[in-house]
Structure 1
Amino acid sequence: MSDQANHPADTPLYPIREVSRLTGVNAVTLRAWERRYGLIQPRRTPKGHRLYAKEDIARVERILQWLNRGVPVSQVRELLEQPEAVEAPPPAAGDWQSQRQQLIAAVEALDLERLEALFNQALALYPVTPCLEELWQPVIRDLEERWDDRLGADLQRRTLEAFLRTRIGTRLYHANAQAGGPRLLVLPLPDDGPLWGLLAALAAADRGFRVQWLDAAPPLQELPLAAERLHADALLLTSGKAEKADLVRRQLPRLAEQLDAPLALCGPVARIRRGDLEGSGVEVLGDDLPSAMTRLQSLIPA
């Protein structure tokens, strides 16, 4: 990769914050790809600040293509050095299954140190979208199935909720300070806890939304006031459960009529209850959170 370190003198160079904006890869991840795996080699200013050429940015985009196709970050460098026509190995060759198993084991053992290490490692090495699609969404689905009437399930759930509140809450705080996108109010439906709302908030922040996340839902009749006072451009409700029929079929459509902003629904409830909400005014976004954010962006006027 010596060609990366010897750019012509007149090559335009970009600071790391601009590369992060252009590629969607946060600065922590860019530095990890450089230090731990040698995937990119930016120039340095006399004070040590990183500067990236257009070739470096193109390389970051190629790295993202491999990661999004299921290739572990440890295997990407070898693939980058091969001709462009090389085909990625099938997704099963990735290490996502191993990471999922380790995460579930850490939650079940209440091993917070291991949970912390796995959380930080994944988001340092991979973009938010594959982390959600390949790691956290499958893990939460698996855990929710395991937690049905199992001894210790409530303790595991509450421990994971507390952990993610802190970690994702910190990320939201820093992301909101830099975001200039629409204001999004995210909150769970009454029968569910905060897990799907936290993941949805993480996905939304990654797409540039300014996210206001509520740990628990206030009474539905108060949401129009909340939307007004918080200047929300959209409301996003989440749940991992089917929720009560009356809530879905009657109360949510009525709420959508009372709001000046779009009302959207995501998480497993959106898949389970899609048929109940057709033509209701509630935007049903599905249970894949990154895809849900793409759809939500299209609903909000620029």
Structure 2
Amino acid sequence: MSDQANHPADTPLYPIREVSRLTGVNAVTLRAWERRYGLIRPRRTPKGHRLYAREDIERVERILQWLNRGVPVSQVRELLEQPDAVEAPPPAAGDWESQRRQLIAAAEALDLARLEALFNQGLSLYPVATCIDELWQPVIRELEEGWDERLGADLQRRALEAFLRTRIGTRLYHANPVAAGPLVLIVPMPDDGGPLWGLLAALAASDRGYRVQLLDAPLPVQELPLAVERFHADALLLASGRAEKADLIRRQLPRLAEQLDVPLTLCGPVARIREADLNGTGVEVLGDDLPRAMTRLQSLTQAA
């Protein structure tokens, strides 16, 4: 990897914030890849600021390709040094399943210190969208299935909600003032057991540059237009891990979509379960894969 530190003098160089914008990898993760794993070696200014060449950016993109195939970050450097013809292993070769098992065990044991370590480790080493896709969505789906029948389920759910509310809320607090994107209002739906899917949606939206206003309890349907108006929201995103009542889905939401001047969108398992019920209505069904849901949301808010 010696060529990473010896760019020609006339090579265009980019600051870390621009590399983050171009690749979608936040600055904390880029620094971790450099310090802990030696995956990239940017130049430094006399004051110590990092500068990245186009080759560094291409290397970051190659790193993302390996991570998206499920390769643990600790194994990526060796793969990068091999010839380009080397094929990526199948997704099962990664350690995502092990990390998911650790998260589930920590949540069930109410081990908040372990949750803290795993949460921070994931977001420092992987892009937010990858963490949501590979870790948090599968973990919450599995936990919710078990919570339907398990003694102590309410305690586990509330503890995890409180944990994520604090950590994601802190990220929103720092990200919102500098975000340049539209404002999305995220509200859980009435039958959902809590705000877990809304919290994940907020994390995914913030990662895409949205300003996020998150409510962690449902609002009556008739108050949602007022909330959109008062928060000056550019989109309303409703989230739920449940199917929700038929009357709400088939009658109230389509009527609400007609009243709003901004997109009314739906995400989480409810979007997958109820997609057929909302075909042909004004409700935009984004799906239960939150990073992909944010891509669909971007097309709607850009069009608006």
Bin of the TM-score, shorter chain as denominator length: over 0.9
Question: Residue 17 of structure 1 aligns to which amino acid in structure 2?
Answer: R
RMSD of aligned residue pairs (Cα, Å):
1.0
Which residue in the other structure is 2:67 paired with?
67
Which residue in the other structure is 1:140 paired with?
140
Which residue in the other structure is 1:179 paired with?
179
**SS class of match (1:187):** strand
Question: Residue 211 of structure 1 aligns to which amino acid in structure 2?
Answer: V
* Distance in 2 separating the partners of 1:88 and 1:76: 10
**SS class of match (2:284):** strand
Which residue in the other structure is 1:240 paired with?
241
Which residue in the other structure is 1:262 paired with?
263
Which residue in the other structure is 2:216 paired with?
215
Question: Residue 164 of structure 1 aligns to which amino acid in structure 2?
Answer: L
Question: After TM superposition, which residue ranges in structure 1, 4 or more long, deviate above 3 angstroms?
Answer: none
* Distance in 1 separating the partners of 2:118 and 2:302: 37
Which residue in the other structure is 1:13 paired with?
13
Q: CA deviation at 1:227?
A: 0.7
Q: CA deviation at 1:64?
A: 0.8
Which residue in the other structure is 1:40 paired with?
40
Q: CA deviation at 1:297?
A: 1.1
Q: CA deviation at 1:11?
A: 1.6
* Distance in 1 separating the partners of 2:32 and 2:134: 20
**SS class of match (1:284):** strand
Point out the more displaced range, 207-216 or 134-143: 207-216
* Distance in 2 separating the partners of 1:251 and 1:96: 39
* Distance in 2 separating the partners of 1:28 and 1:230: 30
Which residue in the other structure is 1:86 paired with?
86
* Distance in 2 separating the partners of 1:172 and 1:20: 18
**SS class of match (1:285):** strand
Structure 1 portions without partners, runs of 5+: none
Point out the more displaced range, 177-186 or 34-43: 177-186
**SS class of match (1:301):** helix
State the identity as a percent.
85
Point out the more displaced range, 83-92 or 170-179: 170-179
Q: CA deviation at 1:175?
A: 1.9
* Distance in 2 separating the partners of 1:210 and 1:20: 18
* Distance in 2 separating the partners of 1:246 and 1:183: 28
Whether 1:97 aligns to 2:111 is no
* Distance in 1 separating the partners of 2:273 and 2:219: 23
Q: CA deviation at 1:138?
A: 0.4
**SS class of match (1:29):** helix
Which residue in the other structure is 1:29 paired with?
29
* Distance in 2 separating the partners of 1:177 and 1:29: 21
1:258-293 superposed Cα distances (whole Å, 9 cap, x missing partner)? 100010001000111111111121111111111111
Which residue in the other structure is 2:232 paired with?
231
Question: Residue 256 of structure 2 aligns to which amino acid in structure 1?
Answer: L
* Distance in 2 separating the partners of 1:11 and 1:275: 52
Structure 2 portions without partners, runs of 5+: none
* Distance in 1 separating the partners of 2:149 and 2:23: 44
Question: Residue 75 of structure 1 aligns to which amino acid in structure 2?
Answer: Q
Q: CA deviation at 1:209?
A: 1.2
Q: CA deviation at 1:149?
A: 2.9
Q: CA deviation at 1:48?
A: 1.5
* Distance in 2 separating the partners of 1:116 and 1:47: 33
* Distance in 2 separating the partners of 1:239 and 1:155: 19
* Distance in 2 separating the partners of 1:186 and 1:230: 11
- How many pairs are equivalent? 302
Q: CA deviation at 1:254?
A: 1.1
Q: CA deviation at 1:168?
A: 0.7
Whether 1:290 aligns to 2:297 is no
1:130-182 superposed Cα distances (whole Å, 9 cap, x missing partner)? 11111100000000011113111100000000000011111112221221111
Question: Residue 66 of structure 2 aligns to which amino acid in structure 1?
Answer: W
**SS class of match (2:265):** strand
